[in-house]
Amino acid sequence: MLLKYFYDQKLAHASYLVGCQKTKEAIVVDPGRDVEQYLEMAQREGVNLIGVAETHIHADYVSGARELADRVGAKLYVSDEGPAEWKYEYAAQYDAQLLKEGDTFQVGKIRFDVLHTPGHTPESISFLLTDQGGGADEPMGIFTGDFVFVGSIGRPDLLEEAAGIQGSAAVGAQQLYHSAQRFKELPDYLQVWPAHGAGSACGKGLGAIPSSTVGYEKRFNPALQFEDETEFVNYILADQPEAPRYFAVMKRVNKEGPLVLGKVSLPKPLPEVQESLVSSSATVIDLSPSTEFAQAHVPGTINIPLSVLAAWAGWLVDYDQPVYLITEAADLPEAYRVLHKIGVDRIAGWFERSAVTRSGDATQSYHSKTAKELAPQIESGAVTLFDVRSDAEWNEGHIPQAEHRFLGHFPDMLSTLESHQPIVVQCRSGARSAIAASLLQAAGIDVINLAGGYQAWETAGLPTTVNGNPVGCATNPSGSCS
C-alpha cells in the first residue's frame, strides 16, 4: 500500500493519496483545489488516480473533488448522510457512489469502510482503511476528516456561526458526543489521519503533529475525556475561535460544486493603477510586507501580506466583486493558488509592485508609533484605540481605553464608522493591526499603527485590564511607571 501525506501550512489542511501498488490504482482523501500536486505524485509513483473520497462538505477551503472528477474522471465517494439540504448537488454529473453508514468501497486491494460520524456537520463520515493487499483482514487506520483531530475534535457550531442555521450548534454538539463515544470503542492501535492541524478554525487546540492513534487520543485528547453528555456539550461549545465569514461561502460552493479551473495560466501585468479602479467596488490588495506598504502605497488599496493572505482574504474580500492584486511576479503563482483555494475566483488582474513604485502612484503612507509615544494620547482620549485581536485574546487582557473591534468584522463596520479624531489600531504584535490600518485609511480615516502591539505595551509597563480589574501600573505624563 502507498500512503502519501500533503499539508497546506497556510490553511492547516491535510489530504492524502492512498494507492494500491498491486493494481496501480489510487484515491485522494479530502483533496484541496490545487490538484496538480496529486496528479504529479500519482505519476511519480506509477499509479492511476481513479477516485476521490471526501469526509464532508468542507467550510474552510474549496474542495478539489469536482476538479479531479472533471479533469481525470475520478470517481466520487461522498456522503449521502444528513438532511436533504446538505447533499452534494453536483455529484449526479459524475460517476459517484453516495455513501451511508456501513457501506464499503475498494481501490485495488484496499478496502474503505464508512462510518457516519455526525457532529461537526450532519453529513460527516469517516473511512476505516484495511490493506487487504498486504493480507490484513482488520483496519490499520481511520480518516477522520474534521471529526477527530490530534488533541482536539471538530467544532459543531459552524453551521450556526457561519451558515446561519439557528439551533444547529447544540444539536451538532449532542451528535458529536455520541460520535466521540463510538470513536472510543475503536481499537487503540488504529492510526488517526485527520484533515487539519494546528491553526485551523475547524476546532480549538489542534495539535501540530500530522497523525496519532485512537489509543493515544482516548488517553490525552481533552474532548474525549467526557462521559457526561451535558458536560461535553458545554465544553465543546465554549471558547471556539471566531468562524471566518467566508466559511458560509465555502459550504455553498462545495455543496453546489466549485467552478472547474483546469490548468491555471497566469496573465501579464496590467498597466498603471487607475484612480477610478481603487474608488470603485473592486478590491485592490497590495501583497507587500506591511512595513513596505506603510511607507508607500496607492491610495485606496488595502494591505494583506502574502504570508497571511490565506488567513485574512476570506474575511476581508467581497466575493461578489472583482479583485486586483499588487505584487511581484515571483509571488503571483502562490497568490493565485491561495485565493483560488478559498474560492476567490474573480481575480480580474494584477499590477507589478516595482512598476507601481516607479510610476509614482504609491503616494500614501501611514505612521507607526511606539507604546510610550502613544500612551499619553490614548489615556487622555485624544485618539480612539481599536484592539483588533480575537475574543480570547481580548479576554486575557487589554488596554483599558481600547474598543474591541475584531479585524475580521471590519468590512461590516467600516460602512457605518465615523471618527472625528485619529484612530490607533493595535493587535498582539502589530501585524494584524497593519492590515486594519490599511482598511481604515482606504475608508478615509486618519490612522496610526501601535508598533509592537499589546506585547510592546505590556513590555513598557503600561496599564492593562483583565475583566475590568487593573493590571500593571499607572503612567505619569512621561510614560513611565509611578
Start-to-end CA span in the chain (Å): 68
Regarding whether 68 and 9 lie in a shared domain, the answer is: yes
Regarding whether 76 and 217 lie in a shared domain, the answer is: yes
Which CATH number covers residue 345?
3.40.250.10
| Inside any domain, residue 267 | no
Regarding whether 97 and 21 lie in a shared domain, the answer is: yes
Question: Residue 163: its pLDDT value, please?
Answer: 67
Regarding whether 42 and 15 lie in a shared domain, the answer is: yes
Number of structural domains found in the chain:
3
* Residues 6+ positions from 62 with CB-CB distance below 8 Å: 32, 33, 250, 253, 254, 258, 340, 341, 342, 343
Question: Residue 82: its pLDDT value, please?
Answer: 92
| Inside any domain, residue 480 | no
Instruction: Output the CA torsion 144→150→152→153 (10° steps).
Output: 0
Question: Residue 478: its pLDDT value, please?
Answer: 38
Regarding whether 284 and 234 lie in a shared domain, the answer is: no
Question: Residue 447: its pLDDT value, please?
Answer: 97
Residue range of the domain that includes 392: 367-471
Which CATH number covers residue 23?
3.60.15.10
Regarding whether 328 and 209 lie in a shared domain, the answer is: no
| Inside any domain, residue 392 | yes
| Inside any domain, residue 263 | no
Question: Which of 160, 125, 131 lies closest to 143 in space, CA to CA?
Answer: 125
* Residues 6+ positions from 106 with CB-CB distance below 8 Å: 112
Of 227, 255, 283, the last residue of a domain is 255
Regarding whether 225 and 125 lie in a shared domain, the answer is: yes
Regarding whether 157 and 32 lie in a shared domain, the answer is: yes
| Inside any domain, residue 477 | no
Which residues, in sequence order, are bridge partners of residue 481? 475
| Inside any domain, residue 344 | yes
Regarding whether 388 and 292 lie in a shared domain, the answer is: no
Of 255, 284, 310, the last residue of a domain is 255
Residues of the chain with pLDDT under 50: 474-482
Regarding whether 403 and 325 lie in a shared domain, the answer is: no
Question: Residue 402: its pLDDT value, please?
Answer: 97
Regarding whether 297 and 159 lie in a shared domain, the answer is: no
| Inside any domain, residue 261 | no
How far CA 128 is from CA of 208, 209, 334, 348, in Å, comes to 23, 20, 34, 43
Regarding whether 386 and 327 lie in a shared domain, the answer is: no
Of 359, 388, 415, the last residue of a domain is 359
| Inside any domain, residue 268 | no
